[in-house]
Chains A and B, each alone.
Chain A
Amino acid sequence: MKMNLTHFEASLLFALFSSVVLGVVSRKTNRERLHYGVRCFGYFLLAVFGLGWLMYFGHR
């Protein structure tokens, strides 16, 4: 069995699990952990889309 993910799917999964772990280990209350995790995920997405567009325009 082999999993064939696209760049986008793989980076999305990576962002999701990394954000959850960063949220769990870096704050003191559950509310803060949730907020931090969501914020990290947002930053990851921003970086994915930002770099994606940058590469798109860089290769035109």
Chain B
Amino acid sequence: MSKTKKKKEPIPPINLWGHILAVAWLVPGGGHFLQRRHGRGAILLGCVAITFIIGLLMRGTMFQPQTGDLLTTIINVGGFIGNLASGVFYFFTVWLGYAQPDVAGHVHDYGTKFLVAAGLMNILAMVDAFEIAVGRKS
């Protein structure tokens, strides 16, 4: 059986998707709202917002982009990117002075993971918004 190699699609012009991706990053679900997918946008906004708020209520820690050995760099820079991906939620939280120190305990640990997970969910939403914008999805 012969394997058919999938042809790589060229990246469409940035003016098609650049602003949508920016809005989708800043406001979770915003890329969908902008493209009149209100229902999906609302679900994504709700999920990201609730996950982020649960993370805050569990007193999760925000990552700082620390570097050092490989593991430290991956955990801290990766975590920071995850936090940053929550868009406006992250900026508001930092702006309002949320600075929870890293404390031992499963509740804080879960909180930290929830904060990162909210950002990762928003990255999935951004990819979806991008695919809708370039016509790969409806």
* A contacts, CB < 8 Å to B: 1-5, 7, 10, 13-14, 17-18, 20-22, 24-25, 28
Contact = CB atoms under 8 A, between A and B. Distances in A.
Interface in B98-117: 106-107, 110, 113-114, 117
Contact of A24 (B43, B110, B117): B43
B38 interface: no
B47 interface: yes
Nearest to A2: B59
Contacts of A24: 40, 43-44, 47, 125, 128
Given A21-B47, A21-B125, A25-B128, A3 B106 contact: no
B74 interface: no
A5 B110 contact: yes
B54 A21 contact: no
Given A17-B50, A20-B43, A24-B44, A5 B58 contact: yes
B137 interface: yes
A25 B127 CA distance: 8
Contacts of A2: 57-59, 107
A21 to B, nearest CB: 4
Majority secondary structure of chain A interface residues (helix, strand, loop or mixed): helix
Which of A13, A14, A21 has the largest number of chain B CB atoms within 10 A?
A: A21
Contacts of A7: 106, 110
Contact of B58 (A3, A18, A25): A3
A22 B47 CA distance: 11
A2 B40 CA distance: 30
B75 interface: no
A4 B110 CA distance: 10
A5 B40 CA distance: 28
